[in-house]
Structure 1
Amino acid sequence: MNSRKKFPTGILGFPTAPFNEKGTIDEKALAVNIDFLINEGLSSIFIACGSGEFHAISRAEYQMMVEVAIETTAGRVPVYTGVGGNITDAIELVKLSEDLGADGYLILPPYLIDGEQEGLYQYYKAIVKESELDAILYNRDNAIVNLDTLQRLVDEFPQIVGLKDGLGNMELNLELVQTIGDRLEWLNGMPFAEITMPAYAKIGFNSYSSAMSNYMPHISRLFFDALKEGNEDVVNDIYVNVLLPINSIRKARKGYAVSLIKAGMNIQGFPVENSVRPPCIAVESDHYETLSKIIKKALEKYPAEQKEISNL
């Protein structure tokens, strides 16, 4: 077993890439987003990942986002970066993340190719062996490792510390968790993870990435605490009044898993434009208004402690 520090559990922070009216990343807005997540008790920051539009940012923008994350966290919580693409690019991003002081990285699915298990093993091996940083694998889309492949990887590389699931195959998840156990941290990475967290928590997933935490983290905490404590009334109440209505909007358009976060942040007064880069699309005006009404009702029912958004 590796001697790594305890991997953060609970609600994980995934900041966005806040674009200004010129279409460039607003560094100050990104710092505000990160600082807010930390102050609200999220256990770690995952920068330049899916919600950070990894697919759409340049190498220079990637480096800037990681630098802002490292500077803003100031050691308060671990920082993990997103890496992926072809092997050469992924390794370069791992080494850049290491040089900049990140604690680890999440390997996003490689482009397009639906590889055999041996191909996935070789892909992950080529990346992970280049660094001692904590590495997290991501089961989703075209990169789904089975038990045999995951077991080979974790036996060979102690720096692999977690697996994030964005597929939703509970039979596979049970097989993985029951066999590998606490050797890994298990992360629920499904779109709008609160929706599926009751099922994931019961099989050993203690962490999840929360999009809603970018604009209503106190409700995410209330929900997760109730889930852990077995308070089904609160869990169900938040489901009916908050989660399901927001999820209904999220499913209305492809790409809303990213842009709906920014819309929620914009509604809540963060310095974030309701803008994303193609192929994602911004939240349409009618959906934006519906989300605004849902957030207003949610805050009336579950009021947050009044805090000013820090301008750092």
Structure 2
Amino acid sequence: MPADRTPPTGISGFPVTPYFESGAIDEQALQENIEFLLEEGLESIFIACGAGEITNLSTEEFDKAAQLAISKVNGRVPVYTGVGGNLLDAVEKAEISEKRGADGYLVLPPYLVESEQEGLYEYYKAIVTSTDLNAVLYQRANAVVNLNTLQRLTEFPQVVGLKDGVGDMELNVELTQEIGDRLGWLNGMPMAEVTMPAYLPLGYNCYSSAISNYIPHISRRFYDALLEQDQATVNDIYHNIILPINRVRRKRKGYAVSLIKAGMEIVGLPVRNTVRPPVVPVEKEHYEELRQILKTAHEKYPSSRKVSI
């Protein structure tokens, strides 16, 4: 049967990797958190990616996380893994993903190297042709392709989408208008809710939501309000929830990951404010700021799930 080349749409969940205080992965917590995202209606799961601390996982841990996620999801939504960095390591993780039954993977940037477009093309080509899985390319840091490079990469049927984490809107206009619906377009900016109103008109109909790990009902309400052009609700959620959380997130490097874990712990999910270096845990003062924001969020927009903050 030919592979389903449908790209992700809607809100994508990027589970964190929960750790015990010892530093070992809490597998039960990971499964419970994935189930929470599924129950809240997220349209896809991306396991062991940036929020999941892909660079801090051994190959064996990556394999286990992929197995757990694919088993827990059990075909309810597409499951993508994260690959990238060293080329051989990326290919190995892509092959593991295919072996475990993933629907695809997100290709993160190569490690450190600033490359010419031809180098990026060859990097992506080697990865996407190593399996028949769907591939979403991630524009980020030292991996930003131009129109010509992306057009060449669309010759491979495995390439189903592009996720943007750069925010170059001139480039985004050129890519989306010239390539159109050949690719799915995913907003992968840090705390993507902040920029989604600007991305939506360009054809970006999917985004990765960090806050969906702990307030997915608000992610959904925000996105629905955008689609329905309910500007009053968009503005209210911006003012009371999204922008305040984003201000806390920007206070320390690494909070793009650890603040998610703090938020999950605050709302009672089985996650500790524990990360692996070089990521740092959320400081007490910032943790309390987040708690107050989430308390306000649940007062204004109660969830169907009982939460005590």
Q: TM-score, normalised by structure 1?
A: 0.96
Matched residue, 2:231: 232
Query: Counterparts in 2 of 1:132-211, with a 5 A limit?
Result: 132-155=132-155, 157-211=156-210
Matched residue, 1:85: 85
- Which runs of structure 1 show a deviation greater than 2 angstroms over 4 or more consecutive aligned residues? 2-8
Residue 24 (str. 1) matches residue 8 (str. 2): no
CA–CA distance in structure 1, aligned partners of residues 5 and 158 of structure 2: 11
CA deviation profile, 1:19-49 (whole Å, cap 9, x unmatched): 1111111000000110110110000110000
- Give, as a single letter, the amino acid of the residue that structure 2 aligns with 1:53: E
CA deviation profile, 1:128-163 (whole Å, cap 9, x unmatched): 1111100010001000000000000102x0110000
CA deviation profile, 1:32-67 (whole Å, cap 9, x unmatched): 110110110000110000000001111111111001
Deviation at 1:89, TM superposition (A): 0.9
Deviation at 1:85, TM superposition (A): 1.5
Matched residue, 1:268: 267
Residue 37 (str. 1) matches residue 22 (str. 2): no
CA–CA distance in structure 2, aligned partners of residues 129 and 274 of structure 1: 38
Deviation at 1:69, TM superposition (A): 0.1
Deviation at 1:5, TM superposition (A): 4.3
CA deviation profile, 1:71-111 (whole Å, cap 9, x unmatched): 10011111100001221111111111000010000001000
Matched residue, 1:63: 63
Deviation at 1:6, TM superposition (A): 2.5
Asked whether the 8 Å contact 2:163–2:188 carries over to 1, the reply is yes
Query: Counterparts in 2 of 1:87-102, with a 5 A limit?
Result: 87-102=87-102
Number of equivalenced pairs: 306
Asked whether the 8 Å contact 2:5–2:160 carries over to 1, the reply is no
Local SS of the residue matching 1:202: helix
Local SS of the residue matching 2:202: coil
Local SS of the residue matching 1:262: helix
- Give, as a single letter, the amino acid of the residue that structure 1 aligns with 2:66: V
- Give, as a single letter, the amino acid of the residue that structure 2 aligns with 1:77: V
Local SS of the residue matching 1:168: coil
CA–CA distance in structure 2, aligned partners of residues 297 and 21 of structure 1: 29
Which structure 1 residue ranges, 5 or more long, are not aligned? none
Asked whether the 8 Å contact 2:3–2:133 carries over to 1, the reply is no
Local SS of the residue matching 1:161: strand
Deviation at 1:4, TM superposition (A): 2.5
Residue 103 (str. 1) matches residue 103 (str. 2): yes
Asked whether the 8 Å contact 2:5–2:158 carries over to 1, the reply is no
Matched residue, 1:127: 127
Asked whether the 8 Å contact 2:37–2:212 carries over to 1, the reply is yes
Deviation at 1:307, TM superposition (A): 5.3
CA–CA distance in structure 1, aligned partners of residues 116 and 99 of structure 2: 32
Deviation at 1:8, TM superposition (A): 2.8
CA–CA distance in structure 1, aligned partners of residues 215 and 86 of structure 2: 35
Deviation at 1:306, TM superposition (A): 2.6
Asked whether the 8 Å contact 2:14–2:49 carries over to 1, the reply is yes
- Give, as a single letter, the amino acid of the residue that structure 2 aligns with 1:49: C
- CA RMSD, 1 decimal: 1.1
CA–CA distance in structure 1, aligned partners of residues 288 and 105 of structure 2: 36
Local SS of the residue matching 1:164: strand
Asked whether the 8 Å contact 2:3–2:132 carries over to 1, the reply is no
Query: Counterparts in 2 of 1:272-291, with a 5 A limit?
Result: 272-291=271-290
Comparing 84-93 and 211-220, the one that deviates more: 84-93
Taking only the aligned residue pairs, the percentage that are identical comes to 62
Asked whether the 8 Å contact 2:193–2:242 carries over to 1, the reply is yes
CA–CA distance in structure 1, aligned partners of residues 280 and 220 of structure 2: 29
- Give, as a single letter, the amino acid of the residue that structure 2 aligns with 1:119: G
Asked whether the 8 Å contact 2:103–2:134 carries over to 1, the reply is yes
Q: TM-score, normalised by structure 2?
A: 0.97
Matched residue, 2:14: 14
Residue 250 (str. 1) matches residue 257 (str. 2): no
CA–CA distance in structure 2, aligned partners of residues 45 and 264 of structure 1: 19
CA–CA distance in structure 2, aligned partners of residues 7 and 177 of structure 1: 15
Local SS of the residue matching 2:28: helix
